[in-house]
Amino acid sequence: MQLPSIERIASFDVDSQRTFTPLCPDELPVEGGATIGPELNRQAGLARWRLGSKDSHSPEAVWVTEDADKVGKPGVPGTNVEEHWPVHAVPGTEGFELVPGLPRPAEYDYFVWKGVELDMHPYGACFHDMAEKMSTGVIEWLRARGTSHVLVGGLATDFCVKATALQLQAAGFQVLLNLAASRGIAPDSTRDALEEMRRAGIETFDGVEALGQRT
C-alpha cells in the first residue's frame, strides 16, 4: 500500500515517557524504552501533524500497589480501573517527562494527558474511560483535518500503544505501527498484542527506512 500525501498523515507518540524506561527503575521500566526518541522523530518527519500523549497519575490513585503479586491483576471494583500498577508517571517527577530527544509537549500539534482522576486508568489515548464513551478529542481533531493514516509508536506496545492503535483503527484511520519506535513490557503480551493489532487491520513496519517493505 502506498502512503497518501503528507497532508493526510499524522504521527502519534503514545506515552513515550521516562516512567516506562530503565531511567526510572522503580516505576514501569521497559527494556529499550529510553532509545525510541530518534525513531519517533524520524516518523514524525513523514507526517503533517504530530500528536502525543502522557500518562498523568497521582501517587494516591486507587489502582496503586506496592505488592508485586497484584501488579497487572484485577483492579478496584466500581472504578474505571482494570489492573493494579506501581506508582508511575507522576507530574513533576522525572518519570513524567518524555524520553530523551523528543520535543516538549507544547511543541506538538495536539497532546493528551490521561489518567488524572484517582479512579481512572485508561490505556488508549482516544478515550478517558475504559468503556470508550468519553472522548479525549483525538479522533475528532484528526477527522477535522482530513487525516487518513496514523503512524504510531511509543510505550508500551502491549498496553497503551495497542489500545491507542486499536481505537484509531476502529475510528476509520489506517494505523501503521512503527516497531522500531515502540517497546513492550513483556515478550508474550507484546507478541499477542501485535497479533491482535494485525487482525484488526493495523499494518506494521520496522523503522521509517523499511516503510517500502512493510511486514
Cβ distance to ligand VGL smaller for residue 15 or 39: 15
Among 85, 108, 111, 205, binds ligand VGL (CB under 6 A): 85
**Contact letters (x/-) for ligand VGL, 149-168, by CB under 6 A?**
------xx--xx--------
Cβ distance to ligand VGL smaller for residue 20 or 127: 20
**Contact letters (x/-) for ligand VGL, 6-45, by CB under 6 A?**
---------x----x-------x-----------------
Q: Quick one: how far is CA 24 from the chain centroid?
A: 18
One-letter identity of residue 81 = V
Secondary-structure percent of the chain, ordered helix, strand, coil, rounded to 5: 30, 25, 45
Cβ distance to ligand VGL smaller for residue 8 or 39: 39
CA distance 178 to 207: 6
Measured between alpha carbons, how far is residue 127 from residues 1, 8, 115 in Å?
29, 22, 10
139 near ligand VGL, judged by CB under 6 A? no
List all residues 6 or more positions away from 23 whose beta carbon is below 8 Å from its beta carbon.
29, 34, 94, 95
One-letter identity of residue 159 = F
CB of 123 to ligand VGL, least distance (A): 6
The residues of the shown chain that bind ligand VGL, judged by CB under 6 A, are: 15, 20, 28, 55, 85, 155-156, 159-160
